[in-house]
Structure 1
């Protein structure tokens, strides 16, 4: 009986797990391009670079530091050279400011002298043509300083101002800070004092006349285009205690009380035994015409009140 040779099973060799990623394998195994490798080998055969890499880096850093030092040195030298010129220009500007200030002071003194001279002539004319009414006319026009009993009213912003949120009447002009004294508040206060019997009024030393105006520029209050800062001190000449009581009973006095209760605006009013008010800085007669045959003029803007 013939024997069959044993059958051997041939098992194929195991393939690499990454056989399907030949491109990535080639990149990993040969991370340096052949051209780079040849260039590196050739450079190595030629003796390589004359300067090692660390030495080249140090030389580059030294060159950069040297360049920075040169730039700083040139800047300092330029500043030192221009310093005398800047100091000279600054001194020239200071001298010019001083000269202009002296000139402005001299002009102001001249204006004050001319104003006093004009006021004296006006009083002489009033006394000549008006008799006993001269002092009254001068007082009402604000042409002379006055002194006598009266009231002192101090108005100030609230300590902690409130932000608008209810759309009340004080937000109608676009202001959000309702705890701040506004120009219209000062207008009502001054007009209330006039109506309560005040004979002369000033705000922070600014004498008010029939032509005075209280306006606003941003958050600032202007009286005849001169800005005021709080607290606002209003002085009024009149029958002290009676004037104070009449103002507090008036509509404008009640308005000021509402501002205090609702918005925290602070104020105090007191009768004074002696109040001194300066003369108005300037009086402008816009439309005057002769009255009768006399030399005195009559101005059309004569009513009290502040707009």
Structure 2
């Protein structure tokens, strides 16, 4: 029998490390749990322990039911106050809207009185020219033939499980913007959305789920009324926004329609708050240096740029 060469081991004496992954698949249960299960089989729980487990389970169930009952009573007790607060807010909103409408009507009456007094004070040609300018800028009421574009939200479908809205298609503020812009491009001379006259400073925005036209909320259905030439409808029908809204209506159920209308009356827009530009206060010229002494022309500004307000040197 020969000895194994130095530095080499006998293969029979090789020690293998345990394969933990294989052991985990062969014995997935912890040995301690296995031992506890064996002991339970050998020595089942006593009768008094089984009898004690039933009242404990019953007590836990009663406690959970009591907590649910208390939570329901608290929620039900707070519901009238929430409903009352909500009803108060709704009543306040309606009261403010009614007051706003009343003040708007009063402002229109006063504007008509001022217009009559102005026409009486001016000559006929001057008053006619002023009325034309007001009609063009949206500050005067206008009448004529035109087009009515009607947009309405799709019907609200309820979720069968939660009862919540299933997310229908709604008219967006950008849809109204596109329609108004294409009506202007088609030759419209005056436009109103749900009775709100559009001017050069009108804004159409989204505030939550509401659409605001000049900060006044408008709701579905939306009627975009435009006064213009007879060819305006055909030109608008060929516009990009009309094609887009027809496609959206076919895909989502949103309502979109265009029709001609005669003898339309668009109200005047509210009186705008005018802002006037004022030239900035130029810095005092520097008097240092020999060139400033006795000179009547001002020196250069501190920034080294032209002292003119526009900065263009004109």
TM-score, reference length from structure 1 = 0.49
Q: Of the two structures, which has the highest relative contact order with CA contacts closer than 8 Å and spacing of 6 or more?
A: 1
TM-score, reference length from structure 2 = 0.48
